[in-house]
Amino acid sequence: MEIRRVFTIQKQAAVSAFVLLVFCPLLSAQKLPALEVWGGYSHLRFDSTTLGFASQSSLNGWNGGISLPDLYQGFGVAADVSGHYSTPMEEFNFLIGPQYSYRWKGVRLYGHALFGKARDRLLHPGSTQLEPSNLSKATAFGGGLDFQLIGKFSFRAVQADYLTTSAFGSTQHNLRLSTGLIYRFGKR
């Protein structure tokens, strides 16, 4: 019960901050900032030795997000959601935080610091039930490289994140690599 209440409060704070960042430019009579939506493949190298596994786990899955990349001179905000799967476990991440972007000749370099929650689920041996489950804090520090394609489409060549989670009371140090397509709403 206590975890749900804390998660609800943090979720409300994140939504309030996101809404504030979206509507501040409108209130100051500026043009609406561009919005980017992206999605694609992701690979997570999970530090499962802290959970009793013999070695680190390789999880495959998806990663996606939404961002306001240029609210003020390259500074923006990004929200990131991902899901990774393997036979013995699953991990889902829900993150939001500041991002800085730099554009040069159709290429964009960016870095971000994302904070939020991770949901980890372990598979009981010999069953199809996913349990036990744990909700913990998560942070991701990283960045990536995007290439402009045609029109409003871009290609995210790589997004690399150092992702830390605290599943089941122990800290995991993970590496997440993602790639995918971006669609931009609004003007550049």
- In this prediction the pTM is 0.77
CB 155 within 8 A of CB 147: yes
Look at residue 82 in the predicted model and tell me its pLDDT.
Answer: 96
Look at residue 177 in the predicted model and tell me its pLDDT.
Answer: 96
Angstrom distance (rounded) from CA 25 to CA 22 = 7
Show Cβ contacts of residue 5 under 8 Å, excluding neighbours closer than 6 positions. Answer: none
Show Cβ contacts of residue 95 under 8 Å, excluding neighbours closer than 6 positions. Answer: 79, 80, 81, 114, 115, 116, 117, 138, 139, 140
**Residue entry with tokens 């929650």:** 117
Helix (H) or strand (E) holding 4: helix 2-27
Look at residue 51 in the predicted model and tell me its pLDDT.
Answer: 81
Half-sphere exposure of 118 (CA within 13 A, CB side): 27
Print pLDDT tens along the chain (188 aa).
455 554 555 666 666 656 555 555 555 545 667 899 999 999 999 988 888 888 888 999 999 999 998 888 889 999 999 999 988 889 999 999 999 999 888 899 999 999 999 999 887 666 666 577 889 999 999 999 999 999 899 999 999 999 999 988 889 999 999 999 999 997 65
Angstrom distance (rounded) from CA 13 to CA 31 = 25
Greatest pairwise CA separation for the chain in angstroms = 60
Strands (E), the chain: 35-46, 57-72, 75-85, 89-104, 107-123, 130-148, 153-165, 172-185
Angstrom distance (rounded) from CA 96 to CA 47 = 22
Pick the closest to residue 38 from 142, 178, 143, 176 (CA basis): 178
Look at residue 186 in the predicted model and tell me its pLDDT.
Answer: 79
Look at residue 168 in the predicted model and tell me its pLDDT.
Answer: 87
